[in-house]
Amino acid sequence: MGGFTGGALTAAVSNGGGLGLLGGGHGDLDWLDRELPIVADGTDEPWGVGFLSWAIDDRAVKRALAYKPAAVMLSFGDPRPFADLVRQAEAILIIQVTDLNEARRAVEIGADVIVAQGTEAGGHGAQRGRSTLPFVPVVVDLAAPTVVLAAGGIADGRGVAAALALGAAGALIGTRFLATAEALIEPSASTAIVAGHGEDTERNTVLDIARGSRWPLRYSARTLGHPYLDQWRGREDELAADASARQAYQAGVASGDLPPRPVWASEAIDLINDRPPAAELVGALAAQAEDALARAGRR
């Protein structure tokens, strides 16, 4: 959600009863300076900021902490260089994990909350990860009594109810909130998510290579289909060595022949069919989860 979850979306989620997380991503200071005041002024409820551990430095975390977020989430890479900064600010330390080694490290670090992300998730995740259904309860058992949230392929209240049944305390939801009124996303990408299907998504490294992204190779990204993906699937090493092909990608984006960014999307996009205000969506998810749990109890 880096860059897509700005201050307006973060505030709306918190105002609706969730914990909104600002998508701090790579820690762009200009972006943070623009969006942090929006969320700080937009809600009196708790909110947080998420960062990519491999991509940031102390400056981004300190800039965010100056606005007194209730929580900071660190994902993908070693969170240890930033954990003490978060603790010193008395913010909740949330660490997202994609395998059991990362989960053990999060426990050792003393994470307050651990997010167990399955491979159904949109955007980046473990290249060789595990599905949400079997992964979450293993992390719940490993991390007890630390609070665990489920992530990956959760887009409605039934998914939230399933997360609770697996022993998680709740769910971290990404792709569903890309299709909301407040998301900082190109209209074409939002439309593609609403129209898309889970089988249209694919975990790949092609688009990171084509974009010249510095993402660690152990993390691939689930995206919707893309012309470059069709052209270079299975030829990733060749693409990485072909500077002219990467330049052609940039030229295609500049000319409008290629989408400006990949469309990150989870396998659950079949369940996304509208673009509501985010606060309304939080309420709808909670009501759906309650209904699903009640129906399961009656059975």
pLDDT one-digit tens code per residue, 4-14: 999 999 999 99
Task: Print the SS3 string covering 243-289.
Answer: HHHHHHHHHHHHHCCCCCCCCECCHHHHHCCCCCCHHHHHHHHHHHH
pLDDT at 73: 98
Written as six digits, the tokens of 199 are: 């089988």
Q: Which amino acid is at 40?
A: A
162-193 residue pLDDT tens: 999 999 999 999 999 999 999 999 999 999 99
Strand partners, 47: 20
Q: How confident is the model at residue 258 (pLDDT cuts 50, 70, 90)?
A: confident
pLDDT at 163: 98
Find, among 70, 201, 227, the residue nearest to 125 by Cα: 201
pLDDT at 1: 87
Name the average pLDDT for the chain: 96
Find, among 264, 286, 278, the residue nearest to 1 by Cα: 264
Residue 298 has pLDDT above 90, yes or no: no
Written as six digits, the tokens of 240 are: 């990485």
In the predicted model, what is the mean pLDDT of residues 201-216? 94
Sheet containing 219-224, strands listed edge to edge, beginning at the edge strand earlier in sequence:
123-126, 219-224, 201-204
Q: How confident is the model at residue 90 (pLDDT cuts 50, 70, 90)?
A: very high
CA distance 208 to 268: 22
Residue 21 has pLDDT above 90, yes or no: yes
CA distance 91 to 93: 6
Residue 137 has pLDDT above 90, yes or no: yes
Q: Cβ–Cβ contacts within 10 Å for residue 296, how many?
A: 12
Indicate the range of 113-117, 152-156, 231-235 predicted with least confidence: 231-235
Domains of the chain and any CATH numbers: 7-185+271-298 (3.20.20.70), 197-255 (no CATH)
Residue 264 has pLDDT above 90, yes or no: yes
pLDDT at 261: 87
- In this structure, are residues 175 and 140 in contact, taking their beta carbons and an 8 Å threshold? no
Mapping DSSP to helix (H, G, I), strand (E, B) and coil, where does residue 51 land?
Answer: strand
The number of residues in the chain equals 299
- In this structure, are residues 52 and 102 in contact, taking their beta carbons and an 8 Å threshold? no
The whole-model pTM stands at 0.95
In the predicted model, what is the mean pLDDT of residues 38-60? 97
Provide the percentage of residues in the chain whose pLDDT is more than 90: 93
Residue 299 has pLDDT above 90, yes or no: no
In the predicted model, what is the mean pLDDT of residues 67-82? 97
- Phi and psi at residue 60, to the nearest 5°: -65, -45
Written as six digits, the tokens of 118 are: 């399955």
Provide the percentage of residues in the chain whose pLDDT is more than 70: 100
- Phi and psi at residue 42, to the nearest 5°: -95, -10
